[in-house]
């Protein structure tokens, strides 16, 4: 799980790797559309062979309990849907990705224009 603090407007972005080493074919993208159509405030997408789950929320006014809850939800989504996706599409699951997480964080920030930053933001790690 990664958390980034953004400004203008003040937001927090939470994202977690779900699977690595998967092919972004029509079947996988169609499968990711299923949870995207049903869940609120989060989305699944593929970046360079990695399935990522991400959510953003406004933090003005800042309510620590809301941010904590959102982080827990993103982590739960990664665990719950990740296991199912791994059975269907293969790839490496979340537990093995933790060793590669810093690289994944950088790739997500720089390859998906929806997740690009104007300036480097502090990064907080949690489980």
Measured CA distances, 83 to 2, 21, 24, 39, 55 (Å): 19, 14, 17, 17, 19
Question: What is the arithmetic mean of pLDDT over 102-117?
Answer: 38
The confidence score (pLDDT) of residue 110 equals 38
pLDDT digits (tens, 9 = 90+) for 47-78: 999 999 999 999 999 999 999 999 999 999 99
Predicted confidence band of residue 95 (pLDDT cuts 50, 70, 90):
low
The confidence score (pLDDT) of residue 6 equals 92
Residues paired with 54 in a beta bridge: 15, 43
Has residue 105 got a pLDDT over 80? Answer: no
Predicted structure pTM score: 0.71
């Amino acid at each position: 799980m990664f958390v980034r603090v953004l400004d203008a407007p003040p937001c927090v972005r939470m994202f977690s790797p779900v699977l690595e080493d998967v092919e972004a074919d029509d079947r996988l993208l169609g499968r990711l559309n299923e949870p995207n159509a049903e869940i609120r405030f989060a989305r699944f997408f593929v970046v360079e062979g990695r399935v990522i789950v991400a959510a953003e929320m406004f933090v003005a006014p800042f309510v620590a309990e809301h941010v904590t809850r959102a982080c827990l939800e993103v982590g739960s989504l990664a665990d719950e849907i990740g296991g199912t996706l791994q059975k269907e599409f293969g790839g490496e699951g979340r537990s093995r990705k933790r060793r590669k997480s810093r690289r994944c964080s950088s790739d997500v920030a720089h390859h998906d224009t929806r997740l690009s930053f104007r300036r480097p933001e502090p990064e907080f790690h949690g489980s």
